[in-house]
A and B are shown apart, each in its own frame.
Chain A
C-alpha cells in the first residue's frame, strides 16, 4: 500500500469515517447514555442492603458496640432488605437492637412508647433519609442515623439499567427475528400480533388443558412451546405467501398481523366465556394463569439478573453465531444482497426465506411467552405497535431495509438505543405524547442514516481504492 506523507491525513480521515460508518450506532448509544446521565443527575438515597450496612457502620462508629438501636423502615420489600442489613451489621458487632419498625410514622410512635414503657434504654435510631424526616423519629430525642446521600445519575444505577434492559427484552428478542427478515430485504409487520397470540395460546393451554393451578412444569413447558410453535407457524405462512405466491412481504405480513390479532382476541374472549359460563361480554381481558411457576420466566432472576435479560442475551449470542458461523447465515446475507446471484450459486433461496420468516415468528412467539409470564397471563392486546418499535430498533442498529446489510450485534445496540431513549424520556419526565414525537423523529433519522450510509461507504471505498490500486499492466 503505497502511501506518502499526504496519505497520513487521509488515513486518519478514513479511519474516522470507518469508525463512524461501522459503529455509528455504538457512538449514538454512548452519546444517549451520557445525555441521559447528565439529565438525571440527582441526589441519591438508595434503600439497599449496601446502604443498610453503611448505616450500621455509622451507628457503631458513633456509639460503642453496647448501644441500643431502633431500626425504622417502611413496609416495602426494599426497606426490609435495608433494615435486615442494618440488623445484621449491628448484630455482628454485638449491639443491642431495641426494636424494629416496618410501617408508618404512627407505628414508630407506638414502638417508642412501648420501649419507654418497658423501661428499655434507647441510644440511636437507624433509618433512611425518608423516615428520618418523620415526626416521631425527629422528636424521639436520640441520635438519628441515615445513609449519607450523594449525587449520581439516576439513569446510571444498576437498578435502573437492569430495569431498562428488562423492560425492553421482548422488543430486543423480536428484533432478532426481524433482523433476519430485513436482511433478506423483507419486512414482518405481524410480530406484535404473533406475540399476543403466542401468549394467549400458552395461557389458555395452561388453564384449560394442563391443569391450571396444578399444572406440572412439563405442562407449562408444553403450553409455552405450543405458543411459540403457533407463532412460528404464522411466520411460515408469511414465508409461504412471500416465496410461493410472490406476495410482497409488507402485504403478506400485514394480513397475518390482523388475522393473528383477531385470533388472540377470539381465544381470550372464548376462554372468558367458558369461565363465566356462557353469557360473558365480548370484551378482551387477559387470560389469567394461576400456576405460580408460570411467572418465573418473566419475573425470576438468575444471579440477580432478570430472566428476560438472560434469555435475551442467550438468544443474541446464538443468533450471532448462527449468522456469522453457519451456512444458513451466509445464505441469508447472500439472498439479501443479490437473490439472483445467490440462486445461480446454488443457494436454496426458497428454503432460506421460509426459514427466516419462520424464525421471525418463533422469536415473536418467545417474546409473547415472556410477556405472558411477566403479567401472569396472556394479554390479547399485548404488543400493539411493537412491529414499528422493532423495525426502528433494527434499522437504528444499522441494518439496511434494502437487504444484505446488518448485524446481530447492531440490532442489540439498536434495541438498547430505543430502550435508553424511552427510559431517558421517562426519567426526565417527558409526557408520553412528546415521547411519540421523539420516537418518530428517531425513526426518520435512522432511515435518513440508512440512505446516507452508502454515500459514506462509497466515499470510503473511493479513498481505499485510491490508496491501494496498483497500475494495471
Chain B
C-alpha cells in the first residue's frame, strides 16, 4: 500500500535519512523501532506530508505521491496519531471526533448524525465511552483511544501511531493495540512506533529498524536488507543488536587523572506520583554519573527535582551530608546545585536578553554593591573571563542570546553556572542540537569540572555519549533505576539498551 523508495533527507549538519526504502501492505502492522535520533520522526514527517524528502519517491496505493502538506496527506487517507494528544479537553468526545472535519449541512451541525456516527466509531474499537463525556474527564488511555477513533473517522488507508502508549498503563496499552490490530484486519495498514519492544513483538507483523538514518533491518519489496527476513517472532536481543549496531566512534576527550572521592550528593527515595518511584543514588566527588534511559523514563524529572525546579512528593537529597531544601530553584542554586536544562531555549535562557545579562542572572548577588545596585564593571570582567575560557563567540557581550548558535548558547548557560561555583552540575542533554566542534568542547568542560572535584550528573539519550563520558552509569526504566553499569567505557551498549527497554525485568511493574 505504501512504498518508500530510497528516501533521503538532511538537515544542516545531519543526514537524518539516507536512502530508506520501506513498504507496508494492506492489513499489515509494521513496527518501526530505533534509538533516539535514528530518523523515525523524520520518516513519519515525510510520510505524513509535514516535510518533503530531499530525494527518493513515495508510492501510495500504486500512485507516486508527493504530499504537499499534512492536509493533503490526510485527504489521501493517511492519519497520524502523535504522542501529544490533539484533543480539546473542554469539548465532548463527540465534538472532538468531528472537530475540523466539516461534517455539517449548510453550516449547521448534524448533531444526531454525529452522535450515531460517534457511537459507531467507538463501538468499532470496542470502547465503552460516552460520546457526550468531556474529554478532560477521561483517563489518559481513553483519550488516546478517542484519538484513534478520531483518526478512524476519516477512514484512513494508513494509520501512523507515534509512541501512542508512552503515557499509558500496560493494560491500557494492550487495549489500544488490540484496536490497532482490528483496524488492520479491516484492510488498512498501520505503522507503529514504540520503544516498548514487547509491544512490537506482540502486535507487529513485521519490524523495521532504523539506525543513523538507515534501514538496518526489515523488509521491502525486493527482499530483506538486513539480517533475518523480518518475520516475527523476532528475537528481541537481535532487534536490540540491530538498533545499537557498531559504534560510530564518537570522539571523547581523554579522561583526566581524577581522583573520585566520597559521596557528595546523596539521593534517597525520590518519588513523584507514578512518574518517579523510589529513586536512590549517590554521586561522588569528581565523578561523572551518567543517567541513561529512553525518553519518558523519568531522567529529566529526577534532575528537575534535585535542582528544585519540580516538586517531589517523597524522598530527600543530601549535599555533603546536609539535607537540601528543594522547594525552589533559588534555594537549590544557593546550596550549590545547578541545572543545564534539556530545553535550553525555553528554560535555560531569556532569549530576548543579552548574553551578559543571561550570564549574570543567577550571579547578580555576587556583582552587587549596596542596595541591589549591579556593579557593571565587575559583571563585565567576570563575563569576559568565562567568555575567554569557554571560547564563547560573540560580537559583543550585549549580543542577544537568541542570535547565537546552539553551542554558544549552551556555553553561556555553562558560564553562568561556573561563575556561580556550583558543587553539583546536572546536565540534561547538554549536547542536543549542538554541532560536533562545540560538542567536544562541552565534553572537555565536563571532564574539567569533574577533575576539579565537582560532581556531574549527565543525562543523555545518546548511549555513546553517556557511556563515553561517564565514570558510572545508571539506567532508568519507567521511573525507576533498573541497573548500574560500573565500567561504562567497556560496557556493551546492547546490554544498556536492554535494561532501558525493560527487557528481562521481573515482568510488569506494579500499576500505581
Contacts and interface: CB of A to CB of B under 8 A. Distances in A.
Contacts of B371: 326
Nearest to A470: B393
Contacts of B144: none
B329 A346 contact: yes
Interface stretch (A58-66, A160-168, A284-292, A330-338): A330-338
Interface in A336-356: 337-338, 340-348
| Size bracket, chain A contacts | 20 to 34
Interface string A450-473: 000000000001001100101011
B238 interface: no
A458 to B, nearest CB: 9
Interface residues of B, number: 39
A325 B309 contact: no
B349 A338 contact: yes
A472 B357 contact: no
A343 B309 CA distance: 8
A333 B373 contact: no
Contact of A330 (B352, B361, B393): B361
B346 to A, nearest CB: 6
A338 B339 contact: no
Contacts of B405: 472
B395 A1 contact: yes
Q: Which of A326, A334, A347, A405 has the most B CB atoms < 10 Å from its CB?
A: A334
B254 interface: no
Given A334-B361, A346-B329, A404-B353, A341 B347 contact: yes
B349 A405 contact: no
Interface in B255-291: none
A296 interface: no
Interface stretch (B3-11, B34-42, B362-370): B362-370
A334 B353 contact: yes
Given A327-B374, A472-B405, A342 B350 contact: yes
For the complex, would chain A's binding face be called helix, strand, loop or mixed by DSSP majority?
helix
Given A345-B361, A405-B352, A326 B372 contact: yes
B437 A333 contact: no
B344 to A, nearest CB: 9
B333 A337 contact: no
Contacts of A327: 364-365, 368, 372-374
Contacts of B374: 325-327, 330
A341 B357 CA distance: 12
Contacts of A340: 346-347
Nearest to B371: A326
Interface string A300-328: 00000000000000000000000001111
Interface of A: 1, 325-328, 330-331, 333-334, 337-338, 340-348, 404-405, 461, 464-465, 468, 470, 472-473
Given A342-B350, A344-B348, 11 more contacts: A327-B372, A327-B373, A330-B357, A333-B350, A337-B350, A346-B362, A347-B361, A404-B352, A461-B400, A464-B403, A465-B403
9 contacts: A326-B371, A327-B374, A330-B361, A338-B347, A338-B351, A344-B329, A344-B339, A404-B352, A473-B437
Q: State the 8 A-B residue pairs at the shortest beta-carbon distance, nearest first.
A: A337-B350, A346-B333, A337-B352, A346-B330, A327-B364, A404-B352, A345-B362, A338-B350
